[in-house]
Amino acid sequence: MRSVRRDSNIRLWSLLYVPLLALVLWTFGFVLTRIEMFNEALRTEQLKREREAWLMEECRKPEFYAHMQHHSALCDEIVVHSKGSLHMAALIHLVQNTYLCGYVPCATAMDLALEWMGGHTTLFAGAAVVVVLLPTLLLPFYREHVNHAAQKYIDTRCNMPYGEQDFYKHQYRITPECSTLRI
């Protein structure tokens, strides 16, 4: 049976397929969550401005402004806030709340993960024992399997190339290249 040699570009693409797919999916998910966060910030800003509309109307009245002498800065802040762009305010909120680890800062996510792991110590101790001991227990069986397969290949190629019955019928000689092969 003749083996077909694949082009090196195909081998490289198949090697990079899974990481590239993971990166594309992560990027797609990141962009989608940021769009959702932007829409949420935009809705929140619109709601805030609708609630401040009444206060802004009241601040335009001279008698209300006179009663708010000690809190006149509130009316000034509302007027300045109403002049700003909705989309720019939502974008600022988005940039301030964008984290690579999701909706919380990475340090907070790591603290939460460590706190959760601290509560499940026996689970992680058992997993560590399995990770350490599993190769130790399975390696001898795997080595025996590989040795058996290699010995079978050598026996088939060198001692009995046409099968056991044909070998005994014609009493083939062992070739010099095969005389030194042993597992």
- Mean pLDDT over 156-162 rounds to 65
Q: Is-contact 58 64, C-beta < 8 A?
A: yes
pLDDT digits (tens, 9 = 90+) for 53-92: 888 888 888 887 777 777 778 888 888 888 888 999 999 9
Give me 163's structure tokens: 């099968």
- Mean pLDDT over 43-48 rounds to 94
The SS3 assignment for 152 reads helix
Cα-based torsion angle of the residue sequence 113, 97, 94, 78 in order, rounded to the nearest 10 degrees: 140
Q: How far apart (Å, rounded) are the C-alpha atoms in residues 34 and 93?
A: 11
Q: What percent of the chain is predicted at pLDDT more than 70?
A: 78
Q: How far apart (Å, rounded) are the C-alpha atoms in residues 37 and 94?
A: 7
- Mean pLDDT over 114-125 rounds to 87
Give the pLDDT band (50/70/90) at residue 179: low
In this predicted structure, the answer to whether residue 5 has a pLDDT above a threshold of 70 is no
* Backbone conformation region of residue 171, classed left if phi is above 0, alpha if psi is from -120 to 50, else beta: left
In this predicted structure, the answer to whether residue 171 has a pLDDT above a threshold of 70 is no
- Identify the pLDDT of residue 1: 45
Q: How far apart (Å, rounded) are the C-alpha atoms in residues 94 and 97?
A: 5
Residue whose tokens read 């966060």: 37
